[in-house]
Amino acid sequence: MSDLDIWLTIGLLAVATAFSRTTFIMLGSRVAIPPRIQEALRYAPACALAAITVPDLLLNNGHLQLGPDNFKLVAGIAAIAFYLVKRDMMLMILFGMLLFTGLRLWA
């Protein structure tokens, strides 16, 4: 891709970001969303976050890897259990990364 094409792409990507993130907030109170749909929308953040993380945990290069040889999965599950007990995000991330790195280097 030429330099110009890349800048054009970056510009369009910025438009994509601006459009998706600002449309409704710019419309403000001019758009009334029916209550049923509002109810459904409240579930969106959790679902979106799951949609982003689950593939990273379960897939390796696009292939499903559910066994103990999937270090991200093992470390991820252990980190979740750790968080449910300790309720500390910084420690959870540290714990998960240490476990993941340890598995990667020595398992």
Partner 1 sequence: MSAAPTPQRVPDEDPAIFREGLKMGMPTLFGIAAWGLVVGVAMVKTHLTVAQAMGMTLLVFAGSAQLASLPLIALGAPVWVIFATALAVNLRFVIFSALLAPHFAHLRWYKRFWLGYVAGDLTVALFLQRFPNDGPAPGKVSYLKGLLFPNWTAWQVGSVTGIFLGSQIPSDWGLGFAGTLAIVCVTIPLITNRATLCGVVVAGIISVLGFHWPYKLGLLAAVIGGMLMAMAVTEVLQRGKARGIAPDSLLRTSGVDAGQARRRRQEATRRKEHE
Binding mask 9-38 for partner 1 (x = CB under 8 A): xxxxxxxxxxxxxxxxxxxxx-xxx-x--x
Least separation, in Å, of the C-beta of 63 and partner 1?
A: 10
Least separation, in Å, of the C-beta of 107 and partner 1?
A: 13
Among the listed residues 79, 81, 74, the one whose alpha carbon sits nearest the alpha carbon of residue 106: 74
Please name the amino acid found at residue 100. F
Phi, psi of 90 (to 5 degrees): -60, -45
Footprint (CB under 8 A) of partner 1, residues 37-96:
38-59, 62, 64, 72, 75-76, 79-80, 83-84, 87-90, 92-93, 96
Burial level of 78, CB count in 10 A (0-12/13-18/19+)?
middle
If one asks whether residue 104 binds partner 1 (CB under 8 A), the answer comes out as yes
